[in-house]
A and B are shown apart, each in its own frame.
Chain A
Amino acid sequence: MMNMPSTVKISLRALRVNKMRSALTMLGIIIGVAAVITMLAVGRGASNKISEQIASVGSNLIIVLPGSTTASGIRLGSGATQNLTRSDAEAIKQECSAVATTAPILNGSAQIIYGNSNWPSIVFGTDENMLEVREWTLASGRNFYDQEIRSAAKICLLGQTVVDNLFGNDDPLHKTVRIKKVPFVVIGVLAPKGQSMLGQDQDDIVYVPVSSAQRNLFGRWFPGTVRSIMVKARSTEDLDRAEQQIKELLRQRHRIGPDQEDDFTVRNLTQMMQMAEQASRVMALLLAAIAGVSLLVGGIGIMNIMLVSVTERTREIGIRMAVGAKTWDIRLQFIIEAVILSLIGGLIGVLLGVLFAQLLSFFAGWTILISTYSILLSFGFSGLVGIFFGFYPAYKASLMNPIDALRHE
């Protein structure tokens, strides 16, 4: 068999001679590879962002809501039944071994006023455990003390968005804001978390003691009750057990008979979010698959050109055979031609794909993630496409009868 360097040289010359055709053939691969890289970057960026958001919500979360769930998952009577209490939250924390901590929630929207500024936000009545449950850290100030929860102190923690809109550059600590015209003293500022999975601004938030919320803000509609309880399980493995324990405990506490339905709903938040994450992964894969199809089309383009090329160069093949080219000499020549085409196309495609992904993130603000893995994958794949689609034309060429090839017009 002839030596590699000269085969490569022969192939390169053949490609140079037909510049335009080579370029057009490559275009298919370029578009395919660029599409794969961009799609993977966008897809992985999106699923990564979702993972980050899940982490920002807090891990191993279960939420307990009042009202029952039907088999189809629709919650009934959520407005009507208000049967979750702060002591339910306390009991879950004390008695369920799989639970790390809990925080009651009594929330509502309200105008927050400071001086001449006012800002509509969501106010959560909760207790000192909330920061642990949601894995918040404080940018400044301090958390609630449990005795302040018991005494319904008029104090609050503000999210960054609220601070920005009410205080501008001023330090909010120890200032008094008015929530529904009730004065609250700012004792802390929450570190920013950014957007949630649903695109909500998680920093547009105010925390007050749940007791103060009941007494001064939202107690009128829900006397003595809370709207939900957030539960943090000890670990991801404990989630299912925690869910079970909560159900048993609440059924007992709410005196629900064996034939009766739950008057509450337990939702595994982490599981739901993981499902969303899963979905976004599938989406990313789907995008990549679509891009892969265009790579395949590019490969078929290469095969088409190589077939034309074989027909066009039948005489050349005949001459080479006459002077001693063997089956694999001819095959290699055409395969290498195809591989060079697809690798150069792949290289340009990678560069274009990376550039395009960067542009998307720069101008459209999409989160992208370009991994070496996706680059290697699409580059390697384009090489394979070259071998795969180059082989048939090469095979065809190598089987020609020397004299028929020589006589070809």
Chain B
Amino acid sequence: MALIETDHLEKRYEVGDSIVHALDKVSLQIHRGEFVAVMGHSGSGKSTFMNVIGCLDEPTAGTYRLDGIDVSSLSRDALAEIRNQKIGFVFQGFNLLARTTALENVEVPLLYNKDGSKNRRERALEALRTLGLEDRRHHHPNQLSGGQQQRVAIARALVNNAPLILADEPTGNLDTKTSIEIMDLFVRLNEEKKITIVLVTHEPDISTYSKRIIHFLDGKLVSDEANRR
């Protein structure tokens, strides 16, 4: 069974008189353990795709199954539960809580988890340790470099042992050297922990880290090919 399975997925926006097809009949499958790079011009619908498969946004039409579950029938709270248990998000702008330490940021998903209260601290520390940030645990986001902030965000995505990480231009705000470090990290997580990764990027260099590259154009899926590293 595919982890992600979309069938004629559509997302339309009506702005004034015009209708924007941000996603236009997208049908694809992503299996466990895959590392998919999502590419396309600006405005081609990459972020929209990520938000829909991340259960942050609802499609206008079509169906989407995550791990076999048709999410369109689920309530807000059930979707929140799914995001908590199955999905880790990494954003271009890091999206960490300000004035909150690295450790506490990593703890946040555990706050909303039924059995998250058990050894929450240790689990968050463990995740930070994996990312080599143990000594930065008491730093606030504004006391960390961009790369370090993104690693905290990745630690947060990992802390619940979610099988899927969705990363929307995770290296967009980082320099080349740091970008390479972060991508190496994703490769490691994919290979060692078998975490499924879907990653949006503009840059062909970054996409080469993946095993499969899909292209969007005006909301349509226009190419889907395997990538050899």
Residues of A within 8 A of B (CB): 2-3, 6, 10, 13, 17, 315-316, 318-327, 329, 401-403, 406
With both chains docked as a complex, state the minimum distance between the C-beta of A56 and any C-beta of chain B, in angstroms.
63
Chain A interface helix/strand/loop/mixed: helix
Residues in chain A near residue B49, CB distance under 8 A: none
Interface size on B, residues (CB 8 A): 28
Residues in chain B near residue A321, CB distance under 8 A: 56, 80, 83
List 25 contacting pairs A-B, 8 Å CB cutoff, sorted by A: A3-B111, A6-B117, A17-B99, A316-B98, A319-B96, A319-B108, A321-B83, A322-B83, A323-B108, A323-B112, A323-B156, A324-B109, A324-B112, A326-B81, A326-B112, A327-B80, A329-B112, A401-B57, A402-B57, A403-B51, A403-B56, A403-B57, A406-B56, A406-B91, A406-B95
B 59-91 contacts with A by CB, 8 A: 76-77, 80-81, 83-85, 89, 91
User: CB-nearest residue of chain A relative to B104?
Assistant: A13
Q: Which of A13, A322, A402 has the most chain B CB within a 10 Å cutoff?
A: A322
Are A322 and B76 CB-contacts (below 8 A) given A2-B111, A403-B51?
A: no
Residues in chain B near residue A325, CB distance under 8 A: 80, 111-112
Say which residue of A3, A318, A402, A406 sits within 8 Å of B117 (CB atoms).
A3
A318 to B93, CA, bound (A): 13
A2 to B51, CA, bound (A): 24
With both chains docked as a complex, state the minimum distance between the C-beta of B161 and any C-beta of chain A, in angstroms.
13
Residues of B within 8 A of A (CB): 51, 54, 56-57, 76-77, 80-81, 83-85, 89, 91, 95-100, 108-109, 111-113, 116-117, 156, 160
User: CB-nearest residue of chain A relative to B77?
Assistant: A326
Say which residue of A2, A323, A327 sits within 8 Å of B83 (CB atoms).
A323
Contact B76 A327 (CB under 8 A): yes
With both chains docked as a complex, state the minimum distance between the C-beta of B212 and any C-beta of chain A, in angstroms.
25
A318 to B57, CA, bound (A): 12
User: CB-nearest residue of chain A relative to B100?
Assistant: A13
Residues in chain A near residue B89, CB distance under 8 A: 322-323
A329 to B108, CA, bound (A): 12
Residues in chain A near residue B96, CB distance under 8 A: 319
A321 to B85, CA, bound (A): 13
A318 to B108, CA, bound (A): 12
Are A6 and B56 CB-contacts (below 8 A) given A324-B84, A324-B85?
A: no
Residues in chain B near residue A401, CB distance under 8 A: 57
A320 to B83, CA, bound (A): 11
Contact A322 B56 (CB under 8 A): yes
User: CB-nearest residue of chain B relative to A5?
Assistant: B117
Residues in chain B near residue A2, CB distance under 8 A: 111-112, 116
With both chains docked as a complex, state the minimum distance between the C-beta of A405 and any C-beta of chain B, in angstroms.
9
A316 to B104, CA, bound (A): 14
User: CB-nearest residue of chain B relative to A14?
Assistant: B99
User: CB-nearest residue of chain B relative to A10?
Assistant: B111
With both chains docked as a complex, state the minimum distance between the C-beta of B79 and any C-beta of chain A, in angstroms.
8
With both chains docked as a complex, state the minimum distance between the C-beta of A312 and any C-beta of chain B, in angstroms.
11
Are A326 and B83 CB-contacts (below 8 A) given A319-B95, A320-B112, A401-B57?
A: no
